[in-house]
Amino acid sequence: MSVKVVVFEDNELLRESLTTLFSLDTNYHLVASLSDASQATAVIKKHNPDAVLMDIDMPGTTGIMAVRQIRMENSLVPIIMLTVFDDNQHVFEALGAGASGYLLKKHISTKLFEAIGDVLTGGAPMSPSIARMVLSSMQQKPVVQNPYHLTARETQILASLSKGNSYKLIASDMEISIDTVRTHIKKIYEKLHVHSQTEAVSKAIYEKLF
């Protein structure tokens, strides 16, 4: 069964390019392509996509606003931000809103399907420059204590999640079962008072929890 994708992008030429890319790969089905995100929640509810591509900079309802609205109704659908921006403010706002990944538009032609595949297996795809910026931000922040009382294993799993690793890869690296990984992640969410992987990673980065 093909992967259903919804696109929100106000650039007409890019929307057409994305339509062409998806038409050339039978593994994907572009079920909706819209120039604005004003009805994002309704569109997601109607089409129930497997993945969403969201332009971050749209008139009216911005991509970040749309992600927040979608997350109020749907905490599971993966959302990859498409943008020309690679500055700290946009990256962390998008991740904090609940985005699942972040891809610069200049990498769409070579990285799009890889990013979608990654996010569908629990990863958090990011363009190389975005990943470097996130790591740099983590390294520059002062180390704090462990205010949430995370165990060593929970901290290790949280750090692995921040690198975009899937549950399967984490389980393999740590030689534990995927169910055990899920149990640890559930406890991490409870301790951090968050509801998704992106919220947990964003909070961990901001507060330097590993």
Instruction: Indicate whether 123 and 184 sit together in one domain.
Output: no
Instruction: Indicate whether 116 and 62 sit together in one domain.
Output: yes
**Number of domains, the chain:** 2
Instruction: Indicate whether 96 and 165 sit together in one domain.
Output: no
Phi, psi at 194, each rounded to 5°: -125, 175
Asked whether the beta carbons of 88 and 18 are under 8 A apart, the reply is no
Write out pLDDT tens, residues 107-144: 899 999 999 999 998 888 876 767 776 666 655 555 55
Enter the pTM of the model: 0.66
Write out pLDDT tens, residues 151-201: 989 999 998 988 888 899 999 999 999 999 999 999 999 999 888 888 888
Q: In the structure encoding, which two tokens stand for residue 132, read together? A: 């470097």
Q: Provide the residue type at 69 as one letter.
A: Q
Instruction: Indicate whether 130 and 159 sit together in one domain.
Output: no
Query: Residue 131: left (phi > 0), alpha (psi -120 to 50), or beta?
Result: alpha
